[in-house]
Amino acid sequence: MKNHFIVVEGLEGSGKTTAINTIKKTLNNIGISDIIFTREPGGTRLGEKIRKLIKYNFKNDQITHKSELLILYAARNQLIEKVIKPALMKGKWIISDRHDLSSQAYQIGGRGLNKKLVQLLRYLVLGKFQPSLTLYLDIPPELGLQRIYSRNKIDRIEKEPLSFFIKTREYYLKIISKNKNILLINANQKIEQVQNDINLILNKWLIKNI
C-alpha cells in the first residue's frame, strides 16, 4: 500500500496554512476526506507543549541551538510514532504543516548547526521514513514576514533577524535542488495563482500516486 503523507513547507508567512486548505479542497473534490491534519512542532500533547516552549517560553540567550534541535526531534518522534505511522498503516492521508525539512533548513541553514549532527538525529528518529510529497512555498523572507507582522502575537522565531531567514531559505533551496520528491511553488504571486499552481502540481502527482 502506498503512503499518502503530504508535507507543506516554507518560511513564516509563505502561505502554508492557506496551501493546506487548497490541498484539502482538492482532495475532497476527488472523494478523499479521511485526512489527518497535523503540524510541527506539535500534533501530540507532548508536541504542542514543546511548540509553546519553542515559540514563547524562552529568549534566544536562554536556549542553545542544540537544545532547541533536541526538543524539536523529541516532538517529531512523538508525532511519528503516535500519529503519523499508525494513521498511514490504516490507509489514512496525512497533511502536515512542516516536517523534517524545516529542521534541515532552520537548524543547519539558519542556526548554523553541524549538518552531520542534524542528519544523525534525523536518522535516529526517522530512519529512512520520508513524506510522499513535499510542497515548498518559496518566498523572499521580507515578504513573508510582512504578511505575518500584522498579526498580534509574534513568536521567538519570527523575531529573528532577516539574515536568519535568508540563510534558512538558501538551505531550503539547496536541499530542494537535490530532491525530486520536494516540489517548489512560487509563493510570491497572487493567492489565486499560488492556488492554481498547487492544484496543477497536486493533480499531476495524484494521477501517479493515488
Ligand X SMILES: Nc1ncnc2c1ncn2[C@@H]1O[C@H](COP(=O)(O)OP(=O)(O)OP(=O)(O)O)[C@@H](O)[C@H]1O
Name the binder of 148 from Mg ion, ligand X, none, CB < 5-8 A by kind: ligand X
Q: Does 12 appear as a known binding residue?
A: yes
Q: Does 110 appear as a known binding residue?
A: no
Nearer to ligand X by Cβ, of 85 and 199: the residue is 199
Q: Name the residue with cell 529542521.
A: 103
Name the binder of 191 from ligand X, Mg ion, none, CB < 5-8 A by kind: ligand X
Nearer to ligand X by Cβ, of 20 and 88: the residue is 20
Interface residues with ligand X (CB under 6 A) are 10, 12-18, 147-148, 187, 189-191, 194
| Closest separation in Å from C-beta 82 to ligand X | 23
Gap between the Cα atoms of 68 and 193, Å rounded: 36
Gap between the Cα atoms of 85 and 81, Å rounded: 6
Q: Does 10 appear as a known binding residue?
A: yes
| Closest separation in Å from C-beta 17 to Mg ion | 3
Cis peptide bond N-terminal to 41, omega within 30: yes
Nearer to ligand X by Cβ, of 85 and 189: the residue is 189
Gap between the Cα atoms of 120 and 115, Å rounded: 9
Q: Is 146 in the site for Mg ion (CB under 5 A)?
A: no
Nearer to ligand X by Cβ, of 84 and 135: the residue is 135
Q: Is 70 exposed, middle or buried (0-12, 13-18, 19+ CB in 10 A)?
A: exposed
The grid coordinates listed for 41 are 512542532
What distances in angstroms separate CA 12 from CA 47, 93, 147, 148, 154, one per listed residue?
19, 25, 9, 7, 11
Of the residues 2, 3, 17, 207, which one makes contact with Mg ion according to CB under 5 A: 17
Q: Is 118 exposed, middle or buried (0-12, 13-18, 19+ CB in 10 A)?
A: buried
Q: Does 14 appear as a known binding residue?
A: yes
Nearer to ligand X by Cβ, of 87 and 185: the residue is 185
The annotation places the binding site for ATP at 10-17
Residues that bind Mg ion in the complex, under the rule CB under 5 A: 16-17
The annotation places the binding site at 10-17
